[in-house]
Amino acid sequence: MHAQLYVKFDKAGLYVADATGLQDPDGELGRSLNGLMASHLQNPAEASLERSNMFGQEVENLKGAAKVVATQATFAPCAARRFLDFTLGVQNGAIEYDPAILKQVVTAAKAVQPEPTLQEIVMHLLTHPTVVTSVIESLTGAPQ
């Protein structure tokens, strides 16, 4: 059902307000016309709606879904972990990080701002002593 959030976006990620969400009768399943995504709903009035359910909460669109996701207790630690994976150039889950480090990062970010931005989380992540030491050791080969 989360795919419904994307019925107004084309394959390049651009929002198209008048997208219908209807399946292209001659196209690949899940594709609408003009590079848009199709809804799984058959009723044309419902197919164009972006409504969905996220963690048991009704949302009107992708923006609403993002707000719900960001309020989950697991969001900030996950964002920190995924950003660190991205920064280090490793596949998600390739490194098992100490959960205490991620908790410290999130706690520090929330001390500055109760609902921290990704920028705030990243700043605390990349300045965390253990992260800094680990990166230096991996680059130099010498323990710090």
CA distance 71 to 94: 26
Cross-strand bridge partners of residue 59 = 52
63-108 pLDDT, tens per residue? Answer: 999 999 999 999 999 999 999 999 989 999 899 999 999 999 999 9
Measure Cα distances from 5 to 1, 12, 29 in Å. Answer: 8, 15, 17
Once rounded to an integer, what is the mean pLDDT over residues 34-53?
Answer: 91
